[in-house]
Amino acid sequence: MKKVTLSTLLKKKQSQEKITALTAYDASFAKLFDEQGIDVMLIGDSLGMVLNGQDDTLAVTTDDIAYHTKSVRSGTNRAFVIADMPFMSYSTPQTSYQNAAKLMAAGASMVKVEGDEWLADTIAGLRQRGVPVCGHLGLTPQSVHVFGGFKVQGRSDSAAEKLLASAKALEQAGIQMLVLECVPTELGKRVTQALSIPVIGIGAGVHTDGQILVMHDMFGVSANYMPKFSKNYLVETGDLRKAVMQYIEDVHKGQFPGPEHSFE
Protein backbone atom coordinates (compact mmCIF):
# COMPACT_ATOMS: atom_id res chain seq x y z
CA MET A 1 0.00 0.00 0.00
CA LYS A 2 1.16 3.52 -0.80
CA LYS A 3 2.45 5.80 1.92
CA VAL A 4 -0.23 8.06 3.39
CA THR A 5 0.48 11.78 3.04
CA LEU A 6 -1.44 14.97 3.64
CA SER A 7 -2.41 14.88 -0.03
CA THR A 8 -3.79 11.36 0.46
CA LEU A 9 -5.93 12.50 3.38
CA LEU A 10 -7.21 15.56 1.53
CA LYS A 11 -8.19 13.40 -1.44
CA LYS A 12 -10.09 11.09 0.92
CA LYS A 13 -12.09 14.04 2.22
CA GLN A 14 -12.82 15.26 -1.28
CA SER A 15 -13.96 11.80 -2.41
CA GLN A 16 -15.90 11.25 0.84
CA GLU A 17 -13.79 8.23 1.75
CA LYS A 18 -13.52 7.92 5.51
CA ILE A 19 -10.15 8.33 7.25
CA THR A 20 -9.18 5.92 10.04
CA ALA A 21 -6.89 6.85 12.92
CA LEU A 22 -5.70 5.42 16.23
CA THR A 23 -3.30 6.53 18.92
CA ALA A 24 -0.07 4.54 19.13
CA TYR A 25 2.85 4.64 21.53
CA ASP A 26 5.29 1.88 20.56
CA ALA A 27 6.74 0.10 17.53
CA SER A 28 4.90 -3.20 17.99
CA PHE A 29 1.39 -1.76 18.00
CA ALA A 30 2.36 0.74 15.31
CA LYS A 31 3.41 -2.16 13.08
CA LEU A 32 0.14 -4.00 13.79
CA PHE A 33 -1.97 -0.92 12.99
CA ASP A 34 0.10 -0.12 9.91
CA GLU A 35 -0.27 -3.61 8.50
CA GLN A 36 -4.06 -3.55 8.91
CA GLY A 37 -4.30 -0.29 6.96
CA ILE A 38 -4.83 2.46 9.54
CA ASP A 39 -4.35 5.82 7.79
CA VAL A 40 -3.15 7.96 10.69
CA MET A 41 -1.38 7.27 13.97
CA LEU A 42 -1.27 9.88 16.71
CA ILE A 43 1.25 9.83 19.51
CA GLY A 44 -1.15 11.43 21.95
CA ASP A 45 -0.48 13.08 25.27
CA SER A 46 -3.19 10.62 26.30
CA LEU A 47 -0.18 8.47 27.19
CA GLY A 48 -0.16 10.29 30.52
CA MET A 49 -3.49 8.66 31.32
CA VAL A 50 -3.38 5.28 29.55
CA LEU A 51 0.33 4.48 30.07
CA ASN A 52 1.12 6.36 33.27
CA GLY A 53 -2.26 6.18 35.01
CA GLN A 54 -2.55 9.92 35.57
CA ASP A 55 -5.91 11.69 35.93
CA ASP A 56 -5.17 14.04 33.02
CA THR A 57 -2.57 14.76 30.33
CA LEU A 58 -0.87 17.76 31.91
CA ALA A 59 2.30 16.10 33.23
CA VAL A 60 3.36 14.77 29.82
CA THR A 61 6.52 16.41 28.44
CA THR A 62 7.86 17.01 24.95
CA ASP A 63 10.61 14.48 25.69
CA ASP A 64 7.94 11.89 26.53
CA ILE A 65 6.17 12.48 23.22
CA ALA A 66 9.48 12.48 21.29
CA TYR A 67 10.48 9.13 22.82
CA HIS A 68 7.20 7.47 21.86
CA THR A 69 7.17 9.16 18.44
CA LYS A 70 10.55 7.62 17.65
CA SER A 71 9.20 4.23 18.71
CA VAL A 72 6.05 4.53 16.61
CA ARG A 73 7.98 5.71 13.56
CA SER A 74 10.21 2.63 13.85
CA GLY A 75 7.16 0.39 13.41
CA THR A 76 5.48 2.40 10.66
CA ASN A 77 5.92 2.09 6.89
CA ARG A 78 2.82 3.72 5.38
CA ALA A 79 0.61 5.48 7.96
CA PHE A 80 0.76 9.24 8.54
CA VAL A 81 2.30 10.01 11.95
CA ILE A 82 1.16 12.96 14.08
CA ALA A 83 2.68 13.95 17.43
CA ASP A 84 0.87 15.87 20.14
CA MET A 85 2.50 19.00 21.49
CA PRO A 86 2.06 18.71 25.27
CA PHE A 87 0.68 21.22 27.76
CA MET A 88 2.55 24.58 27.64
CA SER A 89 5.00 23.36 24.97
CA TYR A 90 3.58 25.91 22.50
CA SER A 91 2.67 28.76 24.85
CA THR A 92 4.63 31.18 22.66
CA PRO A 93 5.58 30.91 18.97
CA GLN A 94 9.29 30.64 19.79
CA THR A 95 8.68 27.86 22.31
CA SER A 96 6.57 26.00 19.78
CA TYR A 97 9.32 26.13 17.15
CA GLN A 98 11.86 24.49 19.44
CA ASN A 99 9.52 21.77 20.67
CA ALA A 100 8.02 21.05 17.24
CA ALA A 101 11.54 20.64 15.85
CA LYS A 102 12.22 17.99 18.47
CA LEU A 103 9.06 16.06 17.57
CA MET A 104 9.66 16.28 13.82
CA ALA A 105 13.22 15.06 14.31
CA ALA A 106 11.82 12.10 16.28
CA GLY A 107 9.77 11.04 13.27
CA ALA A 108 6.51 12.99 13.25
CA SER A 109 5.10 14.24 9.94
CA MET A 110 2.80 16.75 11.68
CA VAL A 111 2.27 18.21 15.15
CA LYS A 112 -1.05 18.79 16.91
CA VAL A 113 -1.96 21.75 19.10
CA GLU A 114 -5.06 22.48 21.19
CA GLY A 115 -6.72 25.89 21.12
CA ASP A 116 -8.47 28.49 19.00
CA GLU A 117 -7.63 31.87 17.45
CA TRP A 118 -4.86 32.71 19.91
CA LEU A 119 -2.75 30.11 18.10
CA ALA A 120 -2.84 31.90 14.73
CA ASP A 121 0.69 33.34 14.90
CA THR A 122 2.11 30.05 16.18
CA ILE A 123 0.44 28.06 13.40
CA ALA A 124 1.61 30.48 10.73
CA GLY A 125 5.15 30.45 12.11
CA LEU A 126 5.32 26.68 12.21
CA ARG A 127 4.04 26.40 8.64
CA GLN A 128 6.64 28.94 7.48
CA ARG A 129 9.30 26.75 9.09
CA GLY A 130 8.13 23.58 7.36
CA VAL A 131 6.03 22.06 10.15
CA PRO A 132 2.49 20.94 9.23
CA VAL A 133 -0.03 21.59 11.98
CA CYS A 134 -3.19 19.80 13.10
CA GLY A 135 -5.64 21.75 15.25
CA HIS A 136 -7.81 20.38 18.06
CA LEU A 137 -11.13 21.90 19.13
CA GLY A 138 -14.10 20.91 21.28
CA LEU A 139 -13.07 19.12 24.43
CA THR A 140 -9.36 19.95 24.57
CA PRO A 141 -7.93 17.78 27.38
CA GLN A 142 -5.13 20.22 28.22
CA SER A 143 -7.84 22.70 29.28
CA VAL A 144 -9.75 20.20 31.41
CA HIS A 145 -9.47 22.34 34.54
CA VAL A 146 -10.87 25.35 32.70
CA PHE A 147 -13.84 23.26 31.56
CA GLY A 148 -14.37 21.83 35.04
CA GLY A 149 -13.93 18.26 33.82
CA PHE A 150 -14.21 16.18 30.67
CA LYS A 151 -17.45 17.67 29.35
CA VAL A 152 -19.18 17.84 25.96
CA GLN A 153 -18.57 21.20 24.27
CA GLY A 154 -20.67 23.29 21.86
CA ARG A 155 -24.11 22.29 23.09
CA SER A 156 -25.62 25.78 23.23
CA ASP A 157 -26.23 27.79 20.06
CA SER A 158 -23.70 30.43 21.07
CA ALA A 159 -21.03 27.87 21.97
CA ALA A 160 -21.60 26.04 18.69
CA GLU A 161 -21.24 29.25 16.67
CA LYS A 162 -18.06 30.16 18.54
CA LEU A 163 -16.53 26.76 17.89
CA LEU A 164 -17.45 26.91 14.19
CA ALA A 165 -15.87 30.37 13.93
CA SER A 166 -12.74 29.07 15.67
CA ALA A 167 -12.47 26.16 13.23
CA LYS A 168 -12.64 28.54 10.27
CA ALA A 169 -10.07 30.85 11.87
CA LEU A 170 -7.65 27.98 12.45
CA GLU A 171 -7.97 26.87 8.83
CA GLN A 172 -7.31 30.43 7.75
CA ALA A 173 -4.22 30.49 10.00
CA GLY A 174 -2.86 27.43 8.23
CA ILE A 175 -3.84 24.16 9.94
CA GLN A 176 -4.07 21.25 7.50
CA MET A 177 -6.18 18.93 9.65
CA LEU A 178 -8.50 19.27 12.63
CA VAL A 179 -9.36 16.91 15.47
CA LEU A 180 -12.83 17.60 16.84
CA GLU A 181 -13.59 16.07 20.23
CA CYS A 182 -16.79 15.60 22.23
CA VAL A 183 -19.25 17.83 20.41
CA PRO A 184 -22.84 17.17 19.31
CA THR A 185 -23.24 15.21 16.08
CA GLU A 186 -24.87 18.10 14.23
CA LEU A 187 -22.04 20.45 15.14
CA GLY A 188 -19.50 17.88 13.97
CA LYS A 189 -21.31 17.80 10.64
CA ARG A 190 -21.39 21.60 10.34
CA VAL A 191 -17.68 21.97 11.06
CA THR A 192 -16.77 19.20 8.61
CA GLN A 193 -18.82 20.77 5.84
CA ALA A 194 -17.46 24.25 6.53
CA LEU A 195 -13.78 23.31 6.24
CA SER A 196 -11.80 22.23 3.18
CA ILE A 197 -9.31 20.28 5.32
CA PRO A 198 -9.91 16.82 6.83
CA VAL A 199 -11.82 16.81 10.14
CA ILE A 200 -11.18 13.79 12.35
CA GLY A 201 -13.77 13.16 15.04
CA ILE A 202 -13.62 11.56 18.46
CA GLY A 203 -17.03 11.75 20.03
CA ALA A 204 -18.08 14.20 17.28
CA GLY A 205 -20.59 12.01 15.45
CA VAL A 206 -20.55 9.99 12.27
CA HIS A 207 -20.41 12.86 9.76
CA THR A 208 -16.76 13.89 10.24
CA ASP A 209 -14.23 12.96 7.55
CA GLY A 210 -12.72 10.29 9.78
CA GLN A 211 -12.53 8.86 13.27
CA ILE A 212 -9.82 8.44 15.88
CA LEU A 213 -9.85 6.38 19.07
CA VAL A 214 -7.35 5.89 21.87
CA MET A 215 -6.03 2.39 21.26
CA HIS A 216 -6.46 1.33 24.89
CA ASP A 217 -10.13 2.33 24.75
CA MET A 218 -10.63 0.37 21.52
CA PHE A 219 -9.16 -2.71 23.18
CA GLY A 220 -11.05 -2.14 26.45
CA VAL A 221 -7.93 -1.94 28.62
CA SER A 222 -7.80 1.71 29.69
CA ALA A 223 -6.53 2.25 33.22
CA ASN A 224 -9.17 4.84 34.14
CA TYR A 225 -12.55 4.63 32.38
CA MET A 226 -14.22 3.85 29.04
CA PRO A 227 -15.54 7.02 27.36
CA LYS A 228 -19.07 7.00 25.94
CA PHE A 229 -17.69 7.74 22.47
CA SER A 230 -15.47 4.64 22.40
CA LYS A 231 -16.18 1.00 21.59
CA ASN A 232 -14.45 -2.15 22.80
CA TYR A 233 -13.64 -3.93 19.55
CA LEU A 234 -11.48 -6.57 21.21
CA VAL A 235 -14.38 -8.03 23.19
CA GLU A 236 -16.32 -8.38 19.92
CA THR A 237 -13.56 -10.04 17.92
CA GLY A 238 -11.24 -11.70 20.46
CA ASP A 239 -8.18 -10.82 18.37
CA LEU A 240 -6.12 -7.63 18.15
CA ARG A 241 -5.77 -7.66 14.37
CA LYS A 242 -9.42 -8.52 13.80
CA ALA A 243 -10.39 -5.74 16.21
CA VAL A 244 -8.47 -3.16 14.15
CA MET A 245 -9.88 -4.54 10.90
CA GLN A 246 -13.43 -4.35 12.27
CA TYR A 247 -12.89 -0.78 13.43
CA ILE A 248 -11.64 0.21 9.97
CA GLU A 249 -14.57 -1.50 8.29
CA ASP A 250 -17.13 0.12 10.60
CA VAL A 251 -15.66 3.59 10.02
CA HIS A 252 -15.57 3.10 6.25
CA LYS A 253 -19.21 1.98 6.22
CA GLY A 254 -20.37 4.79 8.51
CA GLN A 255 -21.38 2.27 11.18
CA PHE A 256 -19.07 3.75 13.81
CA PRO A 257 -19.73 5.85 15.74
CA GLY A 258 -23.35 4.88 16.26
CA PRO A 259 -25.90 6.97 18.18
CA GLU A 260 -24.83 5.26 21.41
CA HIS A 261 -21.30 6.66 20.95
CA SER A 262 -22.45 10.18 20.02
CA PHE A 263 -23.82 13.31 21.66
CA GLU A 264 -26.94 15.28 20.77
Max CA distance (Å), the chain: 47
Establish whether 264 is a catalytic residue.
Answer: no
First vs last Cα of the chain: how many Å apart?
A: 37
| CA dist., res. 176 & res. 132, Å (int) | 7
User: Does 56 belong to an annotated binding site?
Assistant: no
User: Does 84 belong to an annotated binding site?
Assistant: yes
User: Does 264 belong to an annotated binding site?
Assistant: no
Q: Pick the catalytic residue: 17, 117, 181, 186? A: 181
Q: In whole angstroms, how far apart are CA 262 and each of 89, 202, 242, 255?
A: 31, 9, 24, 12
User: Does 250 belong to an annotated binding site?
Assistant: no
Q: Phi/psi of residue 201, each to 5°?
A: -100, 150
Residue-wise DSSP of 11-23: HHHHTTPPEEEEE
Q: Burial of 21 by CB count in 10 Å (0-12 exposed, 13-18 middle, 19+ buried)?
A: buried
Contact 135, 31 (CB under 8 A): no
Residue 141: left if φ>0, alpha if ψ -120 to 50, beta else—which one? alpha
Contact 219, 243 (CB under 8 A): yes
- Residue 138 host element (H or E): strand 133-138
Contact 167, 126 (CB under 8 A): no
| CA dist., res. 74 & res. 28, Å (int) | 9
User: Does 70 belong to an annotated binding site?
Assistant: no
| CA dist., res. 95 & res. 32, Å (int) | 34
Summarize the annotated binding site for 3-methyl-2-oxobutanoate as residue ranges: 45-46, 84, 112
Summarize the annotated binding site for Mg(2+) as residue ranges: 45, 84, 114
Active centre residues (catalytic): 181
Summarize the annotated binding site as residue ranges: 45-46, 84, 112, 114
